[in-house]
Structure 1
Amino acid sequence: MRYQNTYVTLDTRLYHEQQPTPLDNPRAGHFNTEVAKQLGWLDDDELMARWVKILGGQYVPAEFRPLSMAYAGHQFGQWAGQLGDGRGLLMAQVLDNNDKLQDLHLKGIGLTPYSRMGDGRAVLRSTIREYLCGHALTQLGIPSSNALGFVVSDTRVRRERMETGAALMRVADSHIRLGHVEWIASFAPDLLNEFTDYMIDTYYPECRQSETPVLAFLTAVVERTARMIADWQLIGFAHGVMNTDNLSITGSTLDFGPFGFMERFDPAWINNHSDHTGRYAYQNQPAIGHWNLNTWLPHFMRLEGVTRDTLADCLAPYEATFMQHYQQGLCRKLGLPHEKESLTLAFEWLTLLEDNLLDYTNSFRALLALVAPDDYSHEQQLLSTLTAELTDEASKVWQDWSTRYLAQLQSVSVKQALDSMRENNPVYVLRNSMAQRAITAAEQGQFEEVNRVFELLANPYNVQDIAIELDSKPPTPHAPQMPISCSS
């Protein structure tokens, strides 16, 4: 691998260098060969031979420079003070096959100075959920951390009950969060200029061409964040804990806790059982993204040439960027051109889904059978299920909408519409029930279901032979969707 450990060259107040605390008897859980190939890990015989020991913390290659990062954050809208990597270490930074910097971050590998009341460990269930979700989002085309693999161990970890300890090697284009700047502003303000230069030079070098590189950088972060959240909304993904310490400066999805993919369409869905006020409900994610950025940006007023007015200009593109990306995406999901009539149909469709609690993923995919009824047998079953769930009154709404929708499709070729719909409406997402079946089997020492779900999610836009009926089956109408705990 091509190592480029630059974070460790920064001021030592930003991190703590330390070795991982090994797990007891680590064993292979799953290994992502595509990520290994991307990193160059697959070509290194030593790394391949020792990957389980590396992920288990028993062996640290000489080129690694393990460190835990300091950062702060606002959690559920309240200032939480110093946080930091409480159970993870940035093990190394490498250039991948596309000459893009990637962080190798080992999660669940012991106490750090930032562990607070934690134990520095991760449990198997949350490790599997993060492993599968990073993979799922990546294959769906949404910027996200991914993972090289995970290991299981004999280490016992107490959460609500005693559980199996595990560790995950997370791979991300950056682990710098909005909370890093919040930490600097509160505890080391003299580092802000140096750290801002590092963020620009490392992750946004194109901003150096601007007359005002800092403002260009801040605007780019705002726009990337807006597009990421629009992608979440389009696919029905709810992050669950959009604290400022959980948002990356690169606009890539980071930190999977109580996440979930929408099943029965309910915009007010709260997937985190600790979110008692619904702050991070699915429908609130765009507004929370704006809130987080608005909280983050004023810290840069310490820098020369940055004023409240210029920061307002940096934040201004957020709403327009989000709306354009989201509305264009909705039209693509329907196979329609991006125009007023298409958007009217799109929002009427979402209202139909909401009013009847129809499955978000299946309903969009079912429209393929409406457009080409003889060519999509799987989608025809989904469409039959959809229409069977409608009341008589809702059936009339559906008939009216589908007639106008098909008429609007006359403005494009059938092939063009179907290609767009296939490319933007997955057959499979990581439903909580899918993840839970894989976890239940893994806790019995059986990882075949983890592998099957992993393979299924590797090609989410096509019907696959390895799928089972439960992979596309939503909960019954009005059944509460499974809330997920923050404990991991």
Structure 2
Amino acid sequence: MPFTQTYLEIPADFYTQLSPEPLVQAHLVALNRDLIQQQHVDLSEQTILDIAAGKVVEGMSPLAQKYTGHQFGYYNPDLGDGRGILLGQWQTPQGEHFDWHLKGAGRTPYSRRGDGRAVLRSVIREYLASEALHALSVPTTRALAIASGDEQVWRESLEPRANLIRVTPTHIRFGHFEWAASQSPQHSQTLADYVIKHHYPECASEPKPYESLLKLILQRTARTIAHWQAVGFNHGVMNTDNMSILGETFDFGPYAFFDDCQIDYICNHTDTGGRYAYNEQPNVGLWNGQVLAQAFEPLIESAEKRQDSLNDYVEAYNQNYVDLMRAKLGLTNPQPKDKLLIADLLICLDKHRVDYHVFMRSLADLNNPHPVWPQTDDYQAWLLAYKQRLEQETLTEAQRSELILNTNPALVLRNYIAQHIIEQAEKGDRDIVDQWRQWLASPFIENPEWQQWTQPPHSHLKGHQLSCSS
């Protein structure tokens, strides 16, 4: 089988080799056939089930990675893969390599008194969210399969145990560089050289490869967070050990897509201080970038050069966010006051608690007032400014409408929808998870099958907060 384990190229103190703790009486809950086709996975369904259930197949060298990180702003030296195991890399016929990582695989040396398991609820949420973000063109890890079994594990109550196969080019996080820097300059260089070789080969030919590496990581991070803000996504736990060096959305926990536009929305009920609120995400990305830049000190002595990378983050975030929001508003010709137009709209939507997604899509038709439009003076003032701004565009009305409909999804994975899917799956519906994955893969196309899920939810279904338990 075309599995390798390139992570064994670096010293053994970066990881611990061990095998998963298998599921009991395993069965598939979901199988991402689109991803299987895209990555040319020519394994049988039974083999994928075996792998998802914890079986080690030929070519795999399973291991748990060691890293550290800042959690809610505080450094934790004891982190690592506490409930996941890196099985190996799948090699496509084109020579690309993708990590297969088994989440929920059991105890590791980094479990910190945890049981190392995951529950069906949490892996369904990650499976669906990663695919929903992918369909929205947001950089993200992907999910290949879910398996569950007869074992029950305790969280707030007894829940069915489940595993998820997560797929991405690498599982290296900001926290890996924090751990390496805490060990020795040689550890930092070894890790950076590995990352450049396998994931940022363009840096190898640069005069200052480590400076280039830091800049590219932070630019990718900025672009992803700009995407989060534009699609109304709150990650919920932006600890540095949850930040991918590829700038992908990583480690889904208590995430949420907007219902009503609420700028200070907090989706994680344990985040009592609002550190990871929606409106704080860009600043937290910068803070995490500062931590990463500090971890690069053994590689980049100049504080000024490290600061340049952070400045690049700010510039990349601002540019990407405004570009994405322009498209959502059906605008293509940049104008100096676009930032103000965007800001005024968000202030208005937040003030009147307007459904973010339904509103943005409704702008495709300005001739027929939509029920979600606020009947207020501030909204009428904004609408007038928007219509005046449209006079500076070269798009026809039909082209503007098409751009809006192709940029603002009709179907969004709101928390109440995810909860409905989870409840049905826990009752034994083995088709609902992949049915929704297929629907979420085409969120811009109106589909009568899911039309009932596109309207603003009732008030008691809005704004649910979630915990980190998985």
Distance 2:37 2:233 in 1: 28
Distance 2:463 2:313 in 1: 31
- The equivalent position to 1:397 in structure 2, one of 378, 381, 401, is 378
Distance 2:140 2:93 in 1: 17
Match of 1:246 in 2: 242
Distance 1:103 1:25 in 2: 25
Match of 2:421 in 1: 438
Distance 2:110 2:169 in 1: 22
Question: Deviations for 1:261-318, whole angstroms, at most 9, x for unmatched residues?
Answer: 0111111000001101000000000000000110121222223x53212111222111
Q: Does the CA-based 8 Å contact 2:4-2:60 persist in structure 1?
A: no
Question: Structure 1 length normalisation: TM-score?
Answer: 0.92
- SS of residue paired to 1:61: coil
Identity of aligned residues (%): 37
Q: Does the CA-based 8 Å contact 1:129-1:435 persist in structure 2?
A: yes
Question: Deviations for 1:20-62, whole angstroms, at most 9, x for unmatched residues?
Answer: 1111111110100111122221x23xx43322121011x3211
When the two chains are superposed, the root-mean-square deviation of aligned CA atoms in Å is: 1.7
Match of 1:31 in 2: 31
Would you say 1:467 and 2:450 are equivalent positions?
yes
Match of 2:370 in 1: 384
Question: Deviations for 1:417-443, whole angstroms, at most 9, x for unmatched residues?
Answer: 223212221111110011000000011
- SS of residue paired to 1:50: helix
Match of 2:439 in 1: 456
Question: Deviations for 1:232-254, whole angstroms, at most 9, x for unmatched residues?
Answer: 00000010000000000010111
Kindly state the Cα deviation for residue 329 of structure 1 after the two structures are TM-superposed. 1.0
Distance 1:188 1:27, change over 3 A: farther
Distance 1:71 1:85 in 2: 8
Match of 2:463 in 1: 481
Q: As a proportion of its length, which structure holds more helix?
A: 1
- SS of residue paired to 1:102: strand
Question: Deviations for 1:170-229, whole angstroms, at most 9, x for unmatched residues?
Answer: 001210000001112224553111111111111111112211011011111111111110
Which amino acid in the other structure matches residue 387 of structure 2? L
Match of 2:360 in 1: 364
Match of 1:22 in 2: 22
Distance 1:338 1:420 in 2: 15
Match of 2:268 in 1: 272
Q: Does the CA-based 8 Å contact 2:260-2:462 persist in structure 1?
A: no
Unaligned runs of 5+ in 2: none
Which amino acid in the other structure matches residue 405 of structure 2? R
Distance 1:107 1:283 in 2: 29
Match of 1:325 in 2: 320
Distance 1:472 1:67, change over 3 A: farther
**Matching of residues 139-150 of structure 1 within 5 Å:** 139-150=135-146
Distance 2:87 2:267 in 1: 31
- SS of residue paired to 2:162: strand
Distance 1:342 1:309 in 2: 32
Which amino acid in the other structure matches residue 37 of structure 1? Q
Distance 2:458 2:285 in 1: 29
Distance 2:134 2:81 in 1: 23
Which amino acid in the other structure matches residue 10 of structure 1? I
Aligned residues: 467
Unaligned runs of 5+ in 1: 374-379
Question: Deviations for 1:438-486, whole angstroms, at most 9, x for unmatched residues?
Answer: 0000111113332332121010111112204234333429x86110110
Which amino acid in the other structure matches residue 6 of structure 1? T
Distance 1:434 1:164 in 2: 20
Distance 2:305 2:434 in 1: 49
Distance 1:4 1:416 in 2: 47
**Matching of residues 314-353 of structure 1 within 5 Å:** 314-336=309-331, 337-353=333-349
Match of 1:171 in 2: 167
- SS of residue paired to 1:384: coil
Q: Does the CA-based 8 Å contact 1:38-1:96 persist in structure 2?
A: no
Distance 1:350 1:241 in 2: 23
